[in-house]
Amino acid sequence: MRGSDEQAGRLFSYVDLETRVRRDHPLRAIRAIVNDALSALAPDFSALYSKTGRPSIAPERLLRAMLLQAFYSVRSERQLMERLDTDLLFRWFVGLSVDDAVWDATVFSKNRDRLLEGAIAAKFLAAVLARPRVKRLLSNEHFSVDGTLIEAWASMKSFKPKDGSGKEPPPGSGRNTEVDFKGEKRSNESHASTTDPEAKLYRKGAGMEAKLAFLGHALMENRSGLIVNACLTPADGQAERTAALVMIEPLANRPSGVTLGADKGYDARVFVNELRSMNVRPHVAQNNNGRRSAIDRRTTRHPGYAVSQRIRKRIEEAFGWMKTVAGQRKTKFRGVDRVAWSFAFAAAAYNLIRLPKLMGETA
């Protein structure tokens, strides 16, 4: 018998979201870890909100929605609200029932900005790693560090002289004027972006294009490949090594010692000596290009050095996912604090994506 194509609305809804999400869906395992971590952050959430006034969007739901935005490469808050309005999986993960109204995109953004005040992204990353099921996957001896370029949400046309001596666009040329930079000397000392003054002009390597950018830094635990610390700094030539020392310091000075793998960019004598003073073995790739490396045979002769050099490259997988999927290739935020919050949260999202498989392999 042919079915009917009539489309009639129903007065009541009997949809149970729990039955609509299959039992082996990866988001089930992720949601259990997320809920456990969010429960641990309850005191931090309470400190950010007043005890009087109208209830705002629950911070737990805000963060779950932002995780979906990273997992599914949702480009904007407006698109995220559209998905929440129509996608039962999204509603289930965030904690909305079928009949709950979704939030206005502007209201969502304003409530999200409140979480910037309490460094919630870094605390959420730490809370996920502190869960007992996750903590047993981590070692406390072997790590790798690296940095990556995060392009700023600012056009090169906004990079203008600080003294206001730049060329004025011709009248009637519109907002997107043609600009010729040929022959003009520009540097961070004399110029600044009018869109994001904290973004710096930076070139990642010789022959590469200079961009307005920030530098994101990550510390990876070698056994599982999870990101255990993430931070962001203005872009300059010393930022990667300085950030590496800051991130490894809380984990250093263990009786058994700690190893830190890194690429050739970290092969500097001052950096290597700082690591050794903290009882951290510098498993840094040797840079012998026209210079003498700070890494000698007392480090390279150990089999563990070769292992660290092989495993340290896995940190690029994290950067690749964070940039391609989680939207960190070109940030949508302005200012170091806001971009750093987004970068740390993307690192937590990357860990959550990998955890179901890691926990399944070790179960």
Q: Supply the pLDDT for residue 184.
A: 74
Would you state the structure tokens that stand for residue 9, as one six-digit string?
């609305």
254-276 pLDDT, tens per residue?
877 899 999 999 999 999 999 99
- Residue 270's domain is classified under what CATH number? 3.30.420.10
One domain for residues 249 and 112: no
Please report whether residue 163 resides in a domain: no
- Report how far apart, in Å, the C-alpha atoms of 296 and of each of 132, 271, 302, 309 are: 39, 14, 11, 15
Q: Are strands 142-151 and 258-262 parallel, antiparallel or unpaired?
A: parallel
One domain for residues 147 and 94: no
One domain for residues 146 and 232: yes
One domain for residues 292 and 143: yes
Q: Using CA atoms, how far apart are residues 43 and 56, in angstroms rounded to an integer?
A: 16
One domain for residues 252 and 144: yes
- Cα–chain center distance at 284: 24
One domain for residues 326 and 295: yes
Q: Please say whether the beta carbons of 311 and 261 come within 8 A.
A: yes
One domain for residues 47 and 143: no
Domains in the chain: how many in total?
2
123-144 pLDDT, tens per residue?
999 999 999 999 999 988 999 9
One domain for residues 145 and 289: yes
Q: Supply the pLDDT for residue 208.
A: 82
What is the span of the domain harbouring residue 267?
139-152+213-344
One domain for residues 147 and 285: yes
One domain for residues 313 and 261: yes
pTM of the entire structure? 0.90
321-348 pLDDT, tens per residue?
999 999 999 999 999 999 999 999 999 9
Q: Using CA atoms, how far apart are residues 286 and 294, in angstroms rounded to an integer?
A: 7
One domain for residues 114 and 255: no
Please report whether residue 203 resides in a domain: no
| Phi, psi of 74, rounded to the nearest 5 degrees | -80, 125
One domain for residues 144 and 95: no
